[in-house]
């Protein structure tokens, strides 16, 4: 049975407890469910299906069991491993102290011209519906989040490269 990772938008310890999310995914019929960190990362097994079908199933289960849902982006673990091995940052200039960020989006606007840069944040590459960015800390705060929202809207969720490595290892 394939293994998947679900990345939920807007989850934090103050608005969703990880044991509750795990139960919601189990109620959806997913097996071997584990959560990762406290920010809406759920790893699970499911019969092979499209990412979109699994997203809808997870969102419906959250709505039913939690009384709310979080926008969900599902990716097969094998797909994450291939992405990590391919190193999509290869060939682009990233500062040594930059944090690498991966954003999953529902849609890529047709006229996004890269790179997009502002105040230490850079949107570097787009592959399918996955956006690769990097940022360095500045006194201006999380500029990269505003930059991503400006370019792609709110139908997205962002994770660090290290979080994806942890998810792929589960």
| pLDDT at residue 4 is higher than 80 | yes
Q: What is the pLDDT of residues 36-89, one digit of tens each?
A: 987 889 999 999 889 999 999 999 999 999 999 999 999 999 999 999 999 999
Is the same domain home to 95 and 72?
no
Strand order in the sheet with 41-45: 31-36, 41-45, 3-8, 72-76
Q: How many domains does the chain have?
A: 2
Is the same domain home to 15 and 73?
yes
Is the same domain home to 70 and 97?
no
- pLDDT confidence of residue 160: 93
Structural domain ending residue among the three candidates 36, 59, 80: 80
The 10 Å Cβ neighbour count of residue 68 is 12
Is the same domain home to 13 and 76?
yes
Is the same domain home to 104 and 61?
no
Residue with tokens 């949107």: 123
Query: Percentage of the chain surpassing pLDDT 70?
Result: 100
Phi and psi dihedrals of 135, rounded to 5?
-150, 155
Q: Can you tell me whether residue 148 is helix, strand or coil?
A: helix
- pLDDT confidence of residue 37: 84
* CA separation for the pair 38, 12 (Å, rounded): 6
- Tokens for 18, please give them: 């990880």
Query: Percentage of the chain surpassing pLDDT 90?
Result: 65
Is the same domain home to 105 and 63?
no
Is the same domain home to 155 and 94?
yes
Q: Where are the beta strands (DSSP E) in the chain?
A: 3-8, 31-36, 41-45, 72-76, 99-105, 116-118, 121-127, 130-135, 156-160
* CA separation for the pair 7, 55 (Å, rounded): 10
Structural domain ending residue among the three candidates 80, 115, 145: 80
Is the same domain home to 156 and 98?
yes
| pLDDT at residue 15 is higher than 90 | no
Q: Residue 133: pLDDT band by 50, 70, 90 thresholds?
A: very high
- pLDDT confidence of residue 7: 96
Task: Indicate which CATH number applies to the domain containing 40.
Answer: 3.30.70.1280
Domain, as residue range, for 135: 88-168
Structural domain ending residue among the three candidates 59, 80, 101: 80
- pLDDT confidence of residue 111: 79
- pLDDT confidence of residue 108: 85
């Amino acid at each position: 049975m394939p293994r998947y990772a679900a990345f939920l938008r807007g989850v934090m310890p103050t608005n969703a407890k990880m044991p509750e999310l795990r139960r919601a995914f189990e109620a959806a019929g997913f097996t071997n469910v584990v959560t990762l960190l406290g920010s809406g990362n759920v790893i699970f097994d499911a019969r092979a299906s499209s990412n979109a079908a699994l997203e809808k199933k997870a969102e419906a289960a959250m709505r039913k069991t939690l009384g709310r849902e979080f926008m969900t982006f599902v990716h097969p673990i094998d797909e994450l491993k291939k992405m990590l091995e391919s190193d999509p940052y290869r060939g682009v200039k990233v500062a040594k102290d930059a944090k690498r960020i991966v954003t999953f989006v529902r849609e890529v606007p047709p006229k996004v011209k890269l790179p997009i840069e502002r105040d230490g944040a850079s949107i570097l590459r787009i592959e399918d519906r996955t956006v690769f960015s990097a940022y360095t800390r500045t006194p201006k705060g999380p500029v990269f989040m505003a930059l991503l929202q400006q370019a792609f809207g709110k139908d997205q969720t962002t994770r660090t490269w290290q979080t994806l490595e942890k998810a792929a290892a589960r």
